[in-house]
Chains A and B, each alone.
Chain A
Amino acid sequence: MLIRLIVPGEIARVEDLNTSLEAVLTRHGIDAGVRGDVRLIVEELASNAIEYGGGGGADRGQHELSVDIGMDGDLLTLRFRDEGAPFDPLSAQTPDLEADILDRPIGGLGLYLIRQIAESMHYERTDDCNLLRVSLRVPTPENPQ
């Protein structure tokens, strides 16, 4: 694992997550294209978890978001963990891309973007937490994208 970050579930803290992840990825020589994908995935998933995770509920208290990132061969894997309401982003409906974007449900667009960009995704609900794993293929000299 390259790094694990835990922040309060607040929109303003999503940028802190991304700033830290970007620094780590840059240090490991990950190219700008993949860094952009990571930024997008983190922003969309974290915003979604904060807005729809029900973290603001008094009974749940302030929830936290945990993100860790690791490399295995040419696969970069992000793992998200939050204590919000159960939500499987993989079950979200595919938005109607022909419909007016403002008429589409908020959130649907971001999740759709991630599903298109990710190499693979896996969701599970464990110990009252949402766990989501998102993998990206990192271009290598032998296998450029």
Chain B
Amino acid sequence: MSLQTEFPPVAGSLRIGIVPLAGGSLRVTLAGRLDTHSYQELDAALAPLVHGQLQSLVLDLADLEYISSAGIRSIFKARKALGGHGGKVLLVNPQAQIQKVLDVVKAVPMHEIFVSTAEADAYLDAMQRKVLHADEDEDE
């Protein structure tokens, strides 16, 4: 038996793409709206990815139109999961509404927000080199 509702379901307002990057990083592209209706989709998509070896999670927000406090909490959940083993969440290409919300809640230290993926890639490369150098130092 199915109940006919007056309104179409709101699921599907968020689209998530997952792209593995070199060096234990992952790019996740978000499109649409990250809000009280969709944050659980992001939580579910990220849960199996944010453990263990993942060093950097790049959230590409270029096509994300809107975020609310529910979405901010999801990003922080991922950040906390990665932070447990020294990993980082980087936000790139935040649109105006998202930047405004991030600014108001002071959600993310500014050096972890990148206006372009190229900028984030450069940062990741630098981090990678730092890790490699640290390994070399240990050998000395």
Q: Which residues of A contact B (CB under 8 A)?
A: 11-16, 32-33, 36, 39-40, 43-44, 47, 97-98, 100-102, 106, 109-110, 112-113, 116-117
Contact = CB atoms under 8 A, between A and B. Distances in A.
A33 B97 contact: yes
B106 A43 contact: no
B35 interface: yes
A16 B106 CA distance: 30
B126 interface: no
A113 B96 CA distance: 15
12 contacts: A11-B36, A14-B36, A15-B10, A39-B66, A39-B68, A47-B36, A101-B73, A102-B73, A102-B80, A109-B72, A112-B104, A117-B104
Given A39-B66, A113-B68, 14 more contacts: A13-B7, A14-B37, A32-B96, A33-B97, A36-B96, A36-B97, A40-B97, A43-B35, A43-B36, A47-B36, A101-B72, A102-B80, A112-B105, A113-B69
Q: Is the interface of A mostly helix, strand, loop or mixed?
A: helix
B116 interface: no
Interface of B: 7, 9-10, 13, 35-37, 65-66, 68-70, 72-73, 76-77, 80, 96-97, 100-101, 104-107
- The 6 A-B residue pairs whose C-beta atoms are closest, nearest first, are A110-B69, A36-B97, A15-B10, A101-B76, A109-B69, A116-B104
Given A39-B66, A102-B80, A113-B69, A16 B7 contact: yes
Contacts of A100: 76, 80
Nearest to A7: B7
A101 B79 CA distance: 10
B37 A97 contact: no
Contacts of A102: 73, 76-77, 80
